[in-house]
Structure 1
Amino acid sequence: MKKNTNPHLDHRSLPKGKYRHYKGNEYEVLGTAYHSETEELMVLYRPCYGDAALWVRPFDMFNELLSFEGRVAARFKLIEEYKNQSKKGSLK
């Protein structure tokens, strides 16, 4: 993979909170991080069901619109923003 040679990292942000995936499941966004090799901006999240393992997805993919069942939908839609972000969304 080609390394990002831009001296300025991508500083877009995403509110921490609960998001609904276009297929219906809910996920908790914990923050953003950078890929160590490509410096691509990633979203750190976990499902609100099952073992709640941590996952990352490219920022642009997390925020993309897609066609689903004949309509355009956001891959993930914010349903609850954490106002006090120091208490919610911790990795504990």
Structure 2
Amino acid sequence: MERGIYRHYKGNEYEFLFIAKHSETLEELVVYKALYNDSIWARPIKMWDEEIKLGDKTVKRFEFVRKI
């Protein structure tokens, strides 16, 4: 996964920081920062990479925008 800025399908932008592992399950998590308020989030990598159905379209949950 490329380090940089990603846009969530709902419109907000986030900075991808790094991949972490869940301490109990070892599931890989994407750690990322909201650009609108600097809050830090973690989401399973499978969810980060998944596609979302919006009406008759399918879009990526997070779309790469640019490198930092």
Q: TM-score range by the shorter chain?
A: over 0.9
TM-score, length of structure 1 as denominator length: 0.70
Q: CA RMSD in A?
A: 0.9
Long gaps (5+) in structure 2? none
Tell me if 1:61 matches 2:38: no
One-letter amino acid matched to 2:63: K
TM-score, length of structure 2 as denominator length: 0.93
One-letter amino acid matched to 1:37: E
Pairs within 5 Å for 1:62-81: 62-81=48-67
Count how many residue pairs are aligned between Structure 1 and Structure 2: 68
What stretches of structure 1 move > 6 A for 4+ residues in a row?
Answer: none
Higher strand share: 2
Work out which structure has the larger RCO, using CA pairs closer than 8 Å and 6 or more positions apart in sequence.
2
Mapped to 2, the partners of 1:74 and 1:39 lie a distance apart of 24
Long gaps (5+) in structure 1? 1-13, 83-92
Mapped to 1, the partners of 2:66 and 2:19 lie a distance apart of 17
Percent of pairs with identical residues: 41
What's the CA shift for 1:70?
2.3
